[in-house]
Structure formats: C-alpha cells, structure tokens
Structure 1
Amino acid sequence: MKSILLVGQSNMAGRGFITEVEPIINERIKVLKNGRWQFMEEPIHQDRAVAGIGPAAAFAQLWIEAHPNETLGLIPCADGGTSIDDWAPDQILTRHAISEAHFAMETSELIGVLWHQGESDSNNDKFQNYQEKLQQFITHLRQALGQPELPVILGGLGDYLGQSGFGQSATQYQEINKIIQSVSHSEPHCHFVTGQGLQPNPDGIHINARSQRIFGIRYYQAFSQLKDVLSPLPNEGALASTLYKSTYSKNEQMYLQLSALGKNEITFEHFSQQMAAINKDTP
C-alpha cells in the first residue's frame, strides 16, 4: 500500500460543494481516520463543518488507474484558514502531520506530499518572508520523516483571487505564486501546479468542486511526470470525465448503500432490499 500526505489550508482540505460533482468511489482508495485505513468518501478532511471537495480524490483516482494492483491511502492534515506560520516546525499542525505520516508509514509506503496554502499570506506584505518559511517547512518535514527525496507537489493560488467576496483580501496572491514556483525550482523533488483558470465558489476564495477535480488532475500530472504544470492541460475536460465509474464492485455498492442509510437518504426497508439484490447479483 502507498500513501500521500495532504497539507496546507482550506483549498487542500476542500470547500467545493459536494452536490456539484459526481462522487469518486473506489475501494482501493483509503483515508486514514481514527488510526485506521477506511473507505474514502468525500469530504476527505473534517477540519470544518463546511469541508467539501478538494483535489485529492481526483489525484487518487488517476493514480489508482495507473497502478491497477495497488491501494492508495490519503492522510488528511490540511486545516482551513491557516498561515505559513501555522506550519512552522514547532507548530501543532506540522507536528500533527508528521505524527499522522509516521503512523501511516507503519502500514504503507509514503510516496509524496500534496501542499496548497497561501491565501492567508496574500496581504500586508506577508509574502516577503514566505519563501524562507515554505522552504523551512519542506526541509523539516522531509527530515522528520526520514525521506530527503520525498516528492512535494506545490499548488499555486487561483487567479480569481483579489476580486470578490473573501478573496478580495488576497491582493498579493501573485507574489505568493511567484515564490511557490521559485521554491519548486530551488528545492529538489518539488514541482509546481498552476491554479490558472480555476473557478471559485461564490465566496471568491475557495475553489469550486468542478475546478478541484481539474486541480487534482494537474497535481497528478506533476507527480507522475515529475515536472511542473505551468498552464492548464489540454485534455483536462476529457480526463475529468474518466474519474467517475459507471459500474461499482460489490464492496463499493454495499458502501454506497450504507452511506445513504447513515445519511437518512433511504429507508431501512429500501436498504435491506438493495443489499439483498447486491448479494444476489454479485458473486
């Protein structure tokens, strides 16, 4: 089993509306919750009540398709509204991420890190010390995990920032993007993923669900090719359409029914009928 560490702020944790896109369901994608690898269902993070779609599920689905005999575990450690200072080596979020990664490494091989953060540092000239702090985080993370060559994929901020809603405050996002891209060039085994062309929720700061699927595709492209994604991919729309299954395995069907029952979307009678049909039709 392989695993990926997810760190940063809300656009990594995910704020895309759940109902805006089809669900990604795959029994070979797991999430570390309560110390166990559990079936992935979005939202992957539970940092806030408004957690929703992030880039990780799309990334994981493409990785699974390219590795048909493997299982991928996601380690959710992003936290909404956090600044780069919150990810300093001595801060609790960094310590928590390292602790979770170490725990995951007992039963999986950690193969990479997905990072997205910077909106909180896109004002009041905070960018002036951002590069040093981001480099410090990457160096400390790798040292603490004993993996000096651990790939780190750095997501850029969306070019919709600075215009409306909560995003109006992020007036210096372009400076942050330049720094993130610079770090991806100066730090070995780091790669940059552009946020160009992504669309926000009505709040003007959080990437919407459809764009998060696209963002996840870009993250996977950078990770799989070990190179920067500096502009939107020509085949993003086609790739996004391949993320969703038309048929599900027996375990996936059963999980979907259990999830629907737990959310009070179906009655217990309907659940029992569906489970009986699944057991009958699936060997």
Structure 2
Amino acid sequence: MIQSFLMIGQSNMAGRGYAKEVPLIFDEHIKMLRNGLWQIMSEPINFDRPSAGVGLASSFAASWRQDHQQDEIGLIPCADGGTSLDDWAIENVLFENAISQARLAQRTSEIKGILWHQGESDCSPEKADQYQEKFSRIIDTLRKELSISEVPLIIGGLGDYLPTGIFGQYFTHYSLINRELEEFAQSHENCYFVSVKGLTANSDGIHFNAHSQRLLGIRYYCAYRGLKHLLNPNIDENDILNEIYNRSYTKTEKLKLLEHEFALGNIEGKDYLMQLKAIGQE
C-alpha cells in the first residue's frame, strides 16, 4: 500500500521555487493525489496558484525513497498561499478540504505523516501569542478526524531572510513565530521542528528558492526518519541532493518523460517515434 503524507500550510509548503533553477526529480514510485487518484509526481505538486513551483515535498519524497526502494510514497497537496492560521481554523474551508483530500487518500494509502509550513501571514506579536493555542486545536482535530493520532508532524521555521526583503516591514517579528513553532514541537508528542538556517529566498524575499526547497525537503525527511528535531543543517545534505539528482531513470520513467514532452508539443512525431523505439530496445 502507498504510504502517504499530507501537505498543509501556506505558500512555502505549496512551493514557489523556480523549476528552471534545479534539476528534475522524477520517480515512478513517487505519486501525488489528483482528483482522488494517484498520478506520478510532477512539479508543481501543490498547484494552488499560477505561480506554484518547486516545493519541499519532492525532495522529501525522493529522500524517503532512498530508504524504501521497494515501496511507493504518495503526496496529498492541500497548502494554500497567503493563508493565516485563522484561515486554517477547523470551521473553515481549507481545513475541510484537507480532511476531504486525506480521506480520499486513505482509501488507497496509509497516511504516515503530516508536513506543515506556515507562519508568514501571522508575523505579529499579537498573533504569535495565540499561535500555539490555535495550531494545537487544528492539529488535534485533524488527527482525530483522520484517526492518525500518532503519525509524526514535521514543521519548519520561517526564513531568516524575511526582514531584509522588499516586504521586510511585514516580517519584523518573524522570530516570534519561529519561537512558537519550536516551542510547540518541543512540547507536543510526535512533533518535530526543522531549522531553515542558511536557506535563501527568491528575489521576492518571501519564498524559499528552488535549491533551498530541495534542501528543506531533505531536512524534513531527516527529522521524520530520526523522529527528532533538526536544529542545525545536515552537513551532507548537498551530497544527498546530488544522489537524488544522479539517480538513473527506469525504462518506464523514460517513456513517461518522453510522452510528456510529446504531449506538450516539444517533440515532433517522427522524433517521438524514433526515441520511443530506442527506449524500447534498451
């Protein structure tokens, strides 16, 4: 059975990294939920906006696959950009959608973890003071509704670059949210905090760039695998990322990628048939 992970939060969970800046991650055993069905993962996984791009979930899944080479992983994208913790309250549509999507996934998979990244929309002292109480209510209800009381919840910090970006005046109190996120993880069972030290942003100064998203996904997986907080970067995370990028494609993957290029009109029919034949003879 597919082992699945629920992706919730705002835009840095959905992903805004530019795909052109990083190599492709493609694995026939990494799936994403679309219309209640599992499809081979392609980015953007979490298409919440036309600006959706590279997020952390792809490298999280690829890292997971390195330890589970005979198994399939599924990603359940439910993040929504620009949303506050109040938007995720249990009586609101985002929460209801996440429950709905997760229940669809549970028909054909077992949810093994929750991936959360959110907080940029709550960067004020007043909202920080209420963060843990509100977040606890959301997570407790989510766990109860889906009967996943003990699966790990992985949460990441906000980028240190936030106050220096072009919208920096809105993020002067970002460190208060980071404190609340870390304290929440430290004080709740089955919850682990991931540091974003050293990660960098797109030119907007708000969203992690594609390479940083790749590293963040690896960090999320390390926290998940070890069931521990990750308060400092892994010294080998770039090596892990290179292993992911250098993985050889299977014949099925080569065929799927070729089919994708043909469907987009990037390959002429004659060239498509020639390459199709070449792959079939491998």
TM-score by length of 2: 0.97
Q: Which structure 1 residue ranges, 4+ long, deviate > 6 Å from structure 2?
A: none
TM-score between both structures, scaled by the size of structure 1: 0.96
Distance 1:95 1:245 in 2: 39
Is the 1:125–1:172 contact (alpha carbons within 8 Å) kept by the matching residues of 2? Answer: no
Q: How many Å apart are 1:247 and its aligned residue?
A: 2.3
8 Å CA contact 1:135–1:187 kept in 2: the answer is no
Residue 24 in structure 1 maps to residue 32 in structure 2: no
Specify the alignment match of 1:196 in structure 2: 197
Q: Distance in 1 between matches of 2:166 and 2:35?
A: 35
**Structure 1 residue 168: Cα displacement:** 4.0
Q: Do the aligned partners of 1:168 and 1:204 also contact (CA within 8 Å) in 2? A: no
Aligned to 2:96: 95
Structure 2 Cα separation of the partners of residues 188 and 242 of structure 1: 32
Match of 1:132 in 2: 133
Gaps in structure 2 of 5+ consecutive residues? none
Bigger Cα displacement from structure 2, 72-81 vs 242-251: 242-251
Structure 2 CA distance for aligned equivalents of residues 122 and 205 of structure 1: 12
Distance 1:124 1:260 in 2: 49
- Following the alignment from structure 1 to structure 2, what is the Cα–Cα distance between the partners of residues 124 and 142? 28
Deviations 1:202-232 (A, max 9, x none): 0000000000010001000000000000111
Partner of 1:277: 278
Aligned residue for 1:212, secondary structure, equals: helix
Matches of 1:100 and 1:35 in 2, distance apart?
Answer: 7
Paired with 1:201 and 1:207, the residues of 2 have a C-alpha distance of 6
Shift of residue 245, structure 1, vs aligned partner: 3.5
Q: Distance in 2 between matches of 1:186 and 1:136?
A: 14
Letter in 2 for 1:238: D
> Are 1:151 and 2:167 an aligned pair?
no
**Cα distance in 1, alignment partners of residues 168 and 204 from structure 2:** 7
The equivalent residue for 1:58 is 59
Task: Spell out the pairing of 1:51-90 with structure 2 (5 A cutoff).
Answer: 51-90=52-91
Which residue does the alignment assign to 1:179? 180
| CA positional deviation for 1:124 | 6.2
**Is 1:38 paired with 2:39?**
yes
User: Deviation per CA, 1:29-58, whole angstroms, max 9, x where unpaired?
Assistant: 000001110010111111001110000000
| Letter of the structure 2 residue corresponding to residue 88 of structure 1 | A
Decide which moves more: 121-130 or 208-217.
121-130
* AA of the residue aligned to 2:252: N
Q: How many residues align?
A: 281
Distance across 2 between alignment mates of 1:192 and 1:273: 49
Unaligned runs of 5+ in 1: none
| Structure 2 letter corresponding to 1:43 | P
Could you tell me how far apart the structure 1 residues matched to 2:212 and 2:236 are? 14
List per-residue Cα deviations over 1:123-157 (Å, max 9, x = no partner).
Answer: 36321211111111111110111121121001111
Q: Please report how far the alpha carbon of residue 265 of structure 1 lies from its aligned counterpart in structure 2 after TM superposition.
A: 2.3
- Supply the distance in 2 between the matched residues of 1:183 and 1:21 (Cα, whole angstroms): 33
User: Could you list the per-position Cα deviations for residues 73-126 of structure 1 after superposition, in whole angstroms to 9, with x for gaps in the alignment?
Assistant: 000000111000111111111111111111111111110000000001113632
| CA 266–168 in structure 1, closer or farther in 2 if over 3 Å, else same | farther
Between 1:125-134 and 1:150-159, the stretch displaced more is 125-134
Q: Secondary structure at the match of 1:3?
A: strand
Matches within 5 A, 1:89-128: 89-123=90-124, 125-128=126-129
Distance 1:182 1:87 in 2: 20
- Amino acid of the structure 2 residue aligned with 1:47: D
CA distance in 2, matches of 1:272, 1:172: 57
> Is contact 1:167–1:203 with CA below 8 Å preserved after alignment?
no
Q: What secondary structure is seen at the aligned counterpart in 1 of 2:267? A: coil
